[in-house]
Amino acid sequence: MPHKKSLNALFRPLARTSRVPAAAGESVALQAIWDVVGAIPHGQVSSYGAVARAAGLPGRARQAGYALRTAPAELNLPWHRVVSASGHISFPASSRQYREQVRRLRAEGVAVQDGRVARQALTELTEL
């Protein structure tokens, strides 16, 4: 059974190291997720599941998280606009990533209280 990594390790936002390239079929899915994340409007937030559905990958919310974790820094994706289905930030509250996500969301006018974004900021991405 593979070792489970902490969320802190899994979702290192845009902190890239050299990685083995994704398999061809997987890279198509990753690119679709990156395209969707890049299209989330300023001041709006979506869930990992909604991102996966909009990318044509229903039921693959974890793959959306993986795609963000492995995205090349050059893409400059708005990773901070993706949260859990409940609207909570997925990083531990004591982490640098949590603080950075809160800072970026608030800079865009998204209300964040106790690690949760305001319900009106959440979008289902049905327009994509």
The pLDDT of residue 47 is 96
Weakest mean pLDDT among 3-7, 50-54, 98-102: 3-7
Q: Which residue has the higher pLDDT, 125 or 25?
A: 125
* Better-scored residue on pLDDT, 8 or 70: 70
Checking if the pLDDT of 62 tops 80, the result is: yes
Tokens of 126: 């049905």
- The two beta strands, 116-117 and 112-113, are antiparallel
Closest residue by Cα to residue 69 from 5, 12, 6: 12
Query: What pLDDT is recorded for position 127?
Result: 55
Kindly state the average pLDDT of the residues 95-105.
97
The domain segmentation of the chain, as residue ranges, is: 7-12+22-121
pTM of the model: 0.77
Top-tier CATH class for 7-12+22-121: mainly alpha
pLDDT of 14: 38
